[in-house]
Amino acid sequence: MASTELERGFVLHRRDYGDTSLLLEVLSAAEGRLPLIAKGARRASRGRTAAAALLQPFQPLWLAWSGRGEVRTLTRVEAAGRALALSGDALYCGLYVNELLVRLLGRQDPHEALFVFYQQVLSELASGRGIDGALRRFELRLLGELGWAPDLARDADGEPIDPARHYVYSPERGLLPAVAVQTTTVAGGTLRRLAAELPLEGAQAREARDLLRAILAPHLGERPLKSRELFVRATRRP
């Protein structure tokens, strides 16, 4: 469906298309994820150069498009606020969030709550504080919107999570009491804090990160995340 009215949106990913255009993956509040062609956006002219500069990740936008096919044509773009300044680790985390949305969201499947969550996580990342917690909250909210959220309050047998025990995650069943404490287990206390969106530090933060990776893995498939590879290369020391 064409949008002649301006809609809120963000560019999740962009790449060159043909000699002068851009192919965009956009997250819009009204229609979810959709591809747009910005025709002539790379051609040298004052108006087009301004549009190309706006069509960057982490820039709040007002967008309009036309067309009936799967890929629509961008007809208008305006700034909807200042771009969120992400740098260092926060930048890689922002790219990771964008890649999750591109990989997991179906096209033209609106999730207005998820659009709000996305704005929140970008603001939290831009602040530079509590980056790990911001990512875990977003991952859980994304899983919840897609119907894949795990039950962090009870184990696979319906028993309440015991803060004194450790658990392992099974993609088929959910959380299971661990026979022994290993590197792949997560403490019940960590699960409770994660479910309550409370701050996590040290071992708890690592456990929560590994748990969410395990939960997301079946949905992401075997293809590695490019944002994760970029982060590893950037932080590798000689």
Q: Residue 156's CB: how many other CB atoms inside 10 A? A: 16
Residue 60 DSSP label: -
Task: Kindly report the pTM of this predicted structure.
Answer: 0.90
- The percentage of the chain sitting over the pLDDT mark of 90, rounded to a whole number, equals 75
Closest CA to 132 of 236, 211, 58: 211
More confident residue, 174 or 46: 174
Contact between residue 86 and residue 92 where contact means Cβ atoms under 8 Å apart: no
More confident residue, 82 or 1: 82
Query: How confident is the model over 184-208, as pLDDT tens digits?
Result: 899 999 999 999 999 998 999 999 9
More confident residue, 72 or 232: 72
Rounded average pLDDT over 216-238 = 80
Rounded average pLDDT over 115-129 = 95
Write down all domains in the chain, each with its CATH number in brackets: 3-79 (2.40.50.140), 89-235 (1.20.1440.120)
CA distances from 135 to 7, 79, 89, 172, 207 (A): 26, 26, 12, 24, 13
What integer pLDDT is reported at residue 48 of this predicted model? 60
